[in-house]
Amino acid sequence: MENAPFLHQPVLLEEVLAWLDPRPGQVLLDGTVGGGGHSAALLERIGPDGFLYGLDQDPAALEAATERLSKVSDRFKLIRSNFAKLGTLDLPPLDGILLDIGVSSPQLDQGSRGFSFQQAGPLDMRMDPDAPATAAELLATLSETELARIFYEYGEERHGRRVARAIVQDRKEKPYTDTLTFAEFLKRVIPRDPSGIHSATRVFQALRIAVNDELGVLTRVLPAAIASLKPGGKLAVISFHSLEDRIVKHFFRDAAKGCICPGRQPMCTCGKLPSVEVLTGKPVTASASELDCNPRSRSAKLRVARRLPES
């Protein structure tokens, strides 16, 4: 891995601060600490009597965040962990949780991480360098059917079957192990998109999601996050594409509804009560000024819910 600094510009920072409204003395969790941009701002707001926990599975991110947060306060603890394991961690009840889903700018910008089709590097894509399977290994071992499913479901790539078929036909003689070679292959297989989007965009996204089980861990963390909050505590989730946002939207909607009895049933018998109040009717998006400064914020969507008091 390159020795480049782990610099990350936090998206929707002012919006996160406004909706989470961190206050002195609170205990908060940044479940995706990254380079520490959001965490530093939260740590400043909770003051000398508050405490911040931070999770990340990337050692480079934790190292950078530790350095950044140490300049603000010593009232924090960073833990190397995937946020999907939140429910297994010994944390106190929390006043607020932030989850910033997806890959960070430093991971995209370092060719050795293999996330970008615009830089030379191995087809890796692991957010946790110790995770078992790289993108190259998935391309070399998964069946044509499974590859097509991943490309279509995770990347919304309508030519997924064609790509999967070509990979399986070619991989015995020419396994794909580096980013640029695979990107050139995708340019040959996928017809040019009228919108100008690069032919590799959706397939690279799909592989990244599959390698890191991003949708699975998001689905698992949401109920654990609500359970980790104090009554009145808030959960803020920033997502970057429609698949993630849909999971968050539906989870918040169902948790706010409570009852899961069939609609034709005249009265509730399940006894399930609402557990959250959804605070953002529509997702919060980046301001024009932020879009000018950070184009990567254009796809960011923030949704926030508050845990209801115990009934």
pLDDT at residue 7, rounded to an integer: 58
Tell whether the torsion through CA atoms of 158, 160, 161 and 162 is positive or negative.
Answer: positive
| All domains of the chain in start order, with CATH | 13-106+214-307 (3.40.50.150), 117-212 (1.10.150.170)
- How far does the chain reach from its first CA to its final CA, in angstroms? 51
Contact between residue 211 and residue 130 where contact means Cβ atoms under 8 Å apart: no
pLDDT at residue 67, rounded to an integer: 95
* Tens-digit pLDDT profile for residues 141-175: 999 999 999 999 999 999 999 999 999 999 988 88
Which of 153, 160, 114 is closest to 135 using CA atoms? 114
pLDDT at residue 6, rounded to an integer: 56
Which segments of the chain have a pLDDT < 70? 1-8, 104-107, 109, 311
> Residue 296's CB: how many other CB atoms inside 10 A?
15
- The per-residue DSSP string of 247-286 comes to HHHHHHHHHHH---S-TT-SS--S-PPP-EEE--SS-B--
pLDDT at residue 268, rounded to an integer: 83
pLDDT at residue 1, rounded to an integer: 40
